[in-house]
């Protein structure tokens, strides 16, 4: 365990940014967003960034390749630039766990090399959640925000930031800043963990359970009458899917240029009317089916295909952002077991 | 504190259901917390008693839902409308978007809605309850036993701070009385942006619009955006796009949208309310409203059903484009 005074954080970021691109959450007028560190940037105190850090590994829009045509000849050009190591600082544990969900999708064979390369170069520095929000429910999925993982874990306590490297990547980062860190014992961190756990017991969603969901529940849940009421006011926008750290659907499109084509991919949303449209049309005809797809995917289909792991981490972003305030918690309470 | 109580509204709605005048009610449903209210179709007195809410977080404008709702059934639906919502209601009628005969419009007096983002700026996260206490809101958090006292006027939504009307432009009956059209300051922010240099203005919008995640919430909530197939969703349009090619490409989407709703936008403010990135999109629309007022005379979309918007009502006295933009002929 190492420590540094919070007031010395600028020095830490300055030092890190000599070697790495460092991204950290900074405040804007009404929220926080990840930004590449520049001298003077201040680490946000906010719990959630509006958009999750999945962008670093699975960007909203990403050029994949170019096709250059000359007469009847087509060149396929790999347009990827070599990637340098980069640091994502201040990732909460729910977001760290979201990468497990994404890894299962993108790194299972055949691995998605675009995602894999960024994962290989990215260093995750997590932070414990000293001040969880009423919208937090990571505990529902067995996630412990007082014990963040990632390549380096950090805790804030009493004007001090504590750092603990967990991986070789983390050790390598620590070696860059070791000159400005001091060694520390675990006492303060343990106290902070205790404090956080006491707060977790006071969270309004602490009793939310996944009972009634999970692998094998498709037949039981698919035709439940509640879907109609739950989805009736859904606008069909993509807010929930785009702020979600685990939503992973994308579309691949071709953009025609003067001498060929740029193939790119961009996030897609199961809430959209054009999602997975095929020659026969969109298989989910109304918003009810699209809405159901999202929650069945998170709570039933994904766990079925991934050893029981849910593809929701309880970060609460959708609770904060949905224009009609409909969300996975309301769905779980309406359809699940023992959620009174 | 809203002028009319939840209790009074529920009682009236229950009567409407019991009389058989309507078989359902479009209203606000309570959420997990005080502030996460959901638009909902209530079908019984029991459901209303259990879940209906009226208070400082009932911002959702139901006018657009009437398109879908009236198409569902031949029975009448009761809808609750705040004064600002009634302008959207009228505008949709002007555009023949739903059948007025199938709607029973209940106007509710409104004292303005609170903005949970503004509240959280003061209290931080961890809100466990919000209680109305006269002109104050008592905000309880899990971090303190004592509530944070906030003046409601300090956390009013932006659109309510510059409320254009407490008067309902349409209703079948009113609950809580009617107010007046207000002399609002809603163009002040536009004037500030107009006063910027081109570079400043560009930087301002770049800063705001670069946060856009293209979730389409602004479009999907907008009562003026009722095309059956939006050009941006239509693969045959040649301009369907699901996400921005770069950070600032979003300006095109938002500017095109603002043009498309110009003259029809009632300034209900739903676009900015629902934006997850808190982009002040209403300012684009207000700029158009301000210009229309300046060039063609005062016009408020949705004030009167069937009114001809200046942009679709040619008149020989209309301003010449070159004069409108202040540029001479080349």
pLDDT digits (tens, 9 = 90+) for B126-158: 999 999 888 899 999 999 999 999 999 999 999
Of the ranges A27-31, A183-187, A218-222, A327-331, which one carries the lowest mean pLDDT score? A27-31
- State the pTM of this model: 0.94
Q: Residue B330's pLDDT band (boundaries 50, 70, 90)? A: very low
Asked if A300 and A307 touch (Cβ cutoff 8 Å), the reply is: no
Lowest-confidence region among A250-259, B33-42, B267-276: A250-259
Quickly list DSSP for B32-88: SSSS--EEEEE-SHHHHHHHB--STT-----TTHHHHHHHH-SS-EEEEE-HHHHHH
DSSP letter, residue A80: P
**How many whole angstroms from its chain centre is CA B197?**
30
**Residue B59 covered by a domain:** yes
Contact yes or no for A227/A291 (Cβ under 8 A): yes
On whether residue B260 sits in a domain, the answer given is: yes
The answer to whether the CB atoms of A31 and B278 lie below 8 A apart is yes
Q: How far is CA A203 from CA A31, A174, B32, B102, B117, in A?
A: 21, 34, 12, 44, 19
The reported pLDDT for the residue numbered B233 is 86
Same domain, B194 and B303: yes
Q: State the Cα–Cα distance between residues A114 and B152, nearest whole angstrom.
A: 49
Would residue B100 count as lying in a domain?
Answer: yes
pLDDT for the residue B246? 63
Domain enclosing residue A58, as ranges = 2-200
Looking at the structure, tell me whether residues A169 and A295 fall in a common domain.
no
pLDDT at residue B325 in the model: 73
Q: Chain A partners of B128 at a C-beta cutoff of 8 Å? A: 134, 202, 204
How many other CB atoms are there within 10 angstroms of residue A35's CB atom?
A: 16
pLDDT at B171: 97
Within a domain: B182: no
C-alpha span between B162 and B290 (Å, rounded): 14
Question: Which residues 6+ apart lie within 8 Å of B263 measured at CB?
Answer: B288, B292, B299, B301, B309, B310, B311, B312
Of A166, A200, A234, the last residue of a domain is: A200
B277 touches chain A (CB under 8 A): yes
Q: Does A210 reside within a domain?
A: no
Considering only CB atoms, B125 lies closest to which of A28, A134, A327, namely A134
**Is the same domain home to B244 and B297?**
yes
Q: Does B217 sit within 8 Å of A323, measured CB to CB?
A: yes
Give residue-wise pLDDT tens across range B181-229: 998 899 999 999 999 999 999 999 988 988 889 999 999 999 999 998 8
For residues B87 and B139, state if they share a domain.
Answer: no
Chain B residues within 8 A of A330 when measuring between CB atoms = 31-32, 38
Residue pointed to by tokens 């701070």: B161
Is B138 domain-assigned? Answer: yes
Give the residue ranges of DSSP H helices in B172-320: 188-194, 198-209, 217-221, 250-261, 270-274, 282-296
Residues A97 and A69 in one domain: yes
Q: What's the structural domain count of chain B?
A: 3
Number of structural domains chain A divides into? 2
B36 touches chain A (CB under 8 A): yes
Confidence of residue B248 (pLDDT cuts 50, 70, 90): low
Of B72, B215, B99, give the one whose Cα is nearest residue A288. B72
CB spacing of A324 vs B216 below 8 angstroms: no
A257 touching chain B per CB within 8 A: no
Give which of A203, A286, A323, A326 to mutate to test B binding, by max B Cβ within 10 Å.
A323
Instruction: Say how far apart CA B310 and CA B304 lie, in whole Å.
Output: 14
Chain B residues in contact with A266 (beta carbon < 8 A): 242-243
What DSSP line would sit under B192-203, residue for residue?
Answer: HHHTS-HHHHHH
Containing domain of residue B203, as a range? 188-324
**What value does the mean pLDDT take over residues A145-174?**
97
Same domain (yes/no): A177, A225: no
Write the pLDDT tens digit of every residue in A28-85: 877 899 999 999 999 998 888 999 999 999 999 999 999 998 888 999 999 998 889 9
B201-221 per-residue burial string, b: 16 or more CB within 10 A, e: under 16: eeeebeebbbbbbbbbbbbbb
Strand ranges across the sheet with B127-133: B127-133, B136-141, B144-151
Does the structure show a pLDDT above 60 at A219?
yes
List pLDDT tens digits, range B270-301.
Answer: 999 999 999 999 999 999 999 999 999 999 99
Distance from CA of B249 to the nearest CA of A (A): 12
Same-domain check for residues B29 and B72: yes
Tell me, rounded to whole angstroms, the distance of Cα B314 from its chain centroid.
Answer: 29
What's the rounded mean pLDDT across residues B303-327?
A: 85
pLDDT digits (tens, 9 = 90+) for A288-317: 999 999 999 999 999 999 999 999 999 999
Residue B183 belongs to some domain of the structure: no
pLDDT greater than 70 at residue B329: no
């Amino acid at each position: 365990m190492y420590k540094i005074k919070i007031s010395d954080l600028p020095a830490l970021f300055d030092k890190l940014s000599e070697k790495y691109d460092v991204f950290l959450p900074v405040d804007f007028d009404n929220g926080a967003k990840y930004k590449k560190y520049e001298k003077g940037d201040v680490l946000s105190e906010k719990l959630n960034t509006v958009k999750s850090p999945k962008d670093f590994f699975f960007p909203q829009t990403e050029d994949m390749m170019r096709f250059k045509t000359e007469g009847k000849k087509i060149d396929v050009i790999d347009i990827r630039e070599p990637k340098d190591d980069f640091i994502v600082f201040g990732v909460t544990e729910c977001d760290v766990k979201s990468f497990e969900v994404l890894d299962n999708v993108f790194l299972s064979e055949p691995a998605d090399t675009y995602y894999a390369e960024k994962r290989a170069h990215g260093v995750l520095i997590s932070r414990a959640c000293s001040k969880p929000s009423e919208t937090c429910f990571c505990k529902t999925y067995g996630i412990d925000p007082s014990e963040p993982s990632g390549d380096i874990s950090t805790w804030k306590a009493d004007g001090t930031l504590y750092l603990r490297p967990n991986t070789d990547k983390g050790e390598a980062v620590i070696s860059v800043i070791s000159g400005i860190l001091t060694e520390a014992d675990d006492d303060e961190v343990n106290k902070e963990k205790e404090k956080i756990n006491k707060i977790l017991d006071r969270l309004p969603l602490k009793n939310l359970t996944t009972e009634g969901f999970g692998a094998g529940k498709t037949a039981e849940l698919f035709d439940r009458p509640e879907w109609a009421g739950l989805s009736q006011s859904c606008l069909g926008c993509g807010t929930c899917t785009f702020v979600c750290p685990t939503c992973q659907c994308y579309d691949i499109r071709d953009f025609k240029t003067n001498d060929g084509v740029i193939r790119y991919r961009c996030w897609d949303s199961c809430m959209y009317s054009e999602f997975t449209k095929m020659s026969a049309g969109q298989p989910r005809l109304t918003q009810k089916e699209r809405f159901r797809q999202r929650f069945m995917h998170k709570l039933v289909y994904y766990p079925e295909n991934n050893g029981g792991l849910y593809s929701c981490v309880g970060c609460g972003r959708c609770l904060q952002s949905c224009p009609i305030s409909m969300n996975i918690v309301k769905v779980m309470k309406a359809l699940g077991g023992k959620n009174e | 504190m809203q002028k009319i109580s939840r209790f009074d509204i529920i009682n009236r709605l229950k009567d409407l259901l019991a009389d058989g005048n309507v078989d359902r009610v479009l209203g606000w449903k309570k959420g997990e917390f005080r502030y996460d209210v959901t638009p909902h179709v209530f079908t019984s007195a029991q459901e209303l008693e259990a879940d209906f809410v009226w208070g400082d977080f009932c911002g959702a404008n139901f006018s657009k839902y009437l398109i879908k709702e009236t198409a569902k059934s031949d029975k009448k639906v009761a809808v609750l409308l705040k004064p600002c919502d009634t302008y959207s209601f009228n505008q949709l009628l002007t555009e023949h978007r739903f059948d007025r005969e199938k709607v029973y419009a209940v106007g509710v007096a409104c004292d303005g809605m609170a903005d949970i983002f503004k509240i959280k700026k003061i209290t931080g996260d961890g809100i466990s309850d919000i209680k109305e206490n006269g002109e104050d809101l008592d905000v309880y958090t899990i971090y303190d036993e004592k509530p944070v006292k906030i003046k409601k006027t300090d956390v009013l939504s932006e659109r309510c701070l510059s409320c254009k009307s407490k008067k309902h432009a349409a209703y079948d009956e009113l609950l809580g009385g009617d107010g007046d059209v207000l002399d609002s300051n809603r163009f002040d922010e536009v004037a500030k942006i107009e006063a910027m240099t081109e570079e400043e203005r560009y930087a301002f919008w770049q800063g705001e619009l670069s946060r856009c995640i293209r979730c389409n919430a602004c479009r999907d909530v907008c009562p003026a955006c009722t095309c059956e197939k939006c050009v941006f969703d239509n693969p045959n349009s040649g301009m369907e796009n699901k996400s921005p090619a770069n950070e600032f490409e979003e300006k095109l989407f938002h500017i095109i949208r603002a043009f498309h709703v110009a003259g029809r936008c009632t300034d209900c403010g739903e676009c900015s309310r629902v934006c997850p990135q808190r982009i002040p999109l209403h300012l684009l629309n207000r700029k158009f409203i301000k210009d229309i007022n300046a060039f063609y005379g005062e016009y408020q979309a949705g004030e009167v059903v069937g009114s001809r918007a200046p942009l679709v009502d040619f008149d020989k006295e209309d301003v010449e484009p070159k004069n409108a933009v202040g540029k001479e002929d080349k």
